[in-house]
Amino acid sequence: MARRQTRTPAGETVQDYTENIVDIDVTSEMEGSFLEYAYSVIYSRALPDARDGLKPVQRRILYMMSDMGLRPDRGHVKSARVVGEVMGKLHPHGDTAIYDAMVRMAQDFSLRLPLIDGHGNFGSLDDGPAAPRYTEARLAAAALTMTDHLDEDVVDFVPNYDNQLTQPEVLPAAFPNLLVNGTTGIAVGMATNMAPHNLVEVISAARHLIANPDATLEDIMRFVPGPDLPTGGRIVGLDGIRDAYATGRGSFKTRAKVEVEQLSARRTGLVVTELPYMVGPEKVIEKIKDAVNGKKLAGISDVVDLTDRKHGLRLVIELKNGFNPNAVLQQLYRYSPMEDSFGINNVTLVEGQPQTLGLLQLLTVYVDHRISVVRRRTVFRLGKKKDRLHLVEGLLIAIVDIDEVIQIIRSSDEASAARERLMSIYDLSEIQANYILELRLRQLTKYSRIELEKEQDELRKEIAELEAILESDQLLRELVSGELGEIAEKYGTPRRTVLLESEAVSPTVASAAGVESKAGVKGKPAPLALEIADDPCWAILTASGQIARTANQDSLAETGPRSKHDVFRSVVKTSARGEIAAITSQGRMLRIQVMDMPVLPPVSGLPNLAGGVPAKDFITLLKGESLVAFAPLDEVLALGTAQGIVKRVQPDYPLNREDWEVITLKDKDTVVGVAPAGSDDTDLVFLTRQAQLLRFSAAVVRPQGRTAGGMAGIKLAAGDQVVFFGAVAPGDESAVVVTISGTEGALPGTAPGAAKVTAFAEYPAKGRATAGVRAHRFLKGEDTLLLAWAGHGPAKASSSAGVARSLPQEHGRRDGSGIPLSQAVDVIGPSMAWPESA
pLDDT, one tens digit per residue, over 694-753 is 999 999 999 998 888 999 999 999 989 999 999 998 888 888 888 888 888 777 666 667
Name the pairing type of β-strands 234-236 and 498-500: parallel
What own/partner pairs with CB < 8 Å and gap ≥ 24 does 67-74 have?
Answer: 70/137, 70/138, 70/139, 71/138, 71/139, 71/144, 72/117, 72/138, 72/139, 72/140, 72/141, 72/144, 74/138
Going by pLDDT thresholds of 50, 70 and 90, the confidence category of residue 817 is low
| pTM, to two decimals | 0.76
pLDDT at 445: 67
* DSSP at 785: E
Q: What is the residue type of 76?
A: H
Q: Please tell me the predicted confidence (pLDDT) of residue 810.
A: 45
- Indicate the angle between helix axes 95-104 and 56-67, nearest 10 degrees: 80
**Is 447 marked active-site?**
no
Report the pLDDT value the prediction gives residue 815, as an integer from 0 to 100: 64
Instruction: Kindly provide the b/e burial profile for residues 502-532, where b requires at least 16 CB atoms within 10 angstroms of the residue's own CB.
Output: ebbbbeebbbbbbbebeeeeeeebeebebbb
Average pLDDT of 533-560?
Answer: 78
Q: What is the arrangement of strands in the sheet containing 536-542, beginning at the earlier edge strand? A: 568-575, 536-542, 546-549, 613-614
Q: What pLDDT is recorded for position 800?
A: 40
Q: How does DSSP assign 369-405, residue by residue?
A: HHHHHHHHHHHHHHHHHHHHHHHHHHHHHHHHTHHHH
Catalytic choice (99, 134, 161, 426): 134
Q: Are 734 and 664 in contact (CB under 8 A)?
A: no
Query: Is the pLDDT score of 36 beyond 80?
Result: no
Question: Looking at 206-220, 491-505, 555-569, 800-814, which range is the least confident one?
Answer: 800-814
Q: Determine which of 491-505, 583-597, 670-684, 824-838 has the lowest per-residue pLDDT on average.
A: 824-838
Tell me if 681 sits within 8 A of 695, measured CB to CB: no
Note the pLDDT of residue 326: 87
Phi then psi for 422, rounded to 5 degrees? -65, -40
As a whole number, the mean pLDDT across the chain is 85
Does residue 710 contact residue 641 with C-beta atoms inside 8 Å?
A: yes
Torsional class of 731: left (φ above 0), alpha (ψ -120 to 50), beta (otherwise) = left
Helices (H), 563-602: none
Please give the pLDDT value at position 524.
Answer: 55
Report CA-CA distances (Å) from 792 to 301, 457, 477, 772: 43, 96, 79, 21
Structural domains in the chain plus CATH codes: 54-172 (3.90.199.10), 374-491 (1.10.268.10), 536-823 (2.120.10.90)
Instruction: Give the model's confidence band at 316: pLDDT under 50 very low, under 70 low, under 90 confident, else very high.
Output: very high
**Is 148 in contact with 141 (CB distance < 8 Å)?**
no
- β-pairing, 703-704 vs 645-649, is parallel
What confidence score (pLDDT) does residue 355 get? 93
Beta strands in 88-243 (DSSP E): 116-119, 136-139, 157-159, 166-168, 183-186, 191-194, 234-236
| Residue 506 pLDDT class (50, 70, 90 cuts) | very low
Q: Is the peptide bond before 794 cis (omega within 30 degrees of 0)?
A: yes
Q: SS3 of 646, please?
A: strand
Predicted confidence (pLDDT) per residue in 150-164, tens digit: 999 999 999 999 999
pLDDT of residue 28: 78
Average pLDDT over residues 171-195: 91
CA 329 to chain centre: 17
pLDDT, tens digit (0-9, with 9 covering 90-100), for 416-453: 898 898 898 888 999 999 998 888 766 766 677 888 89
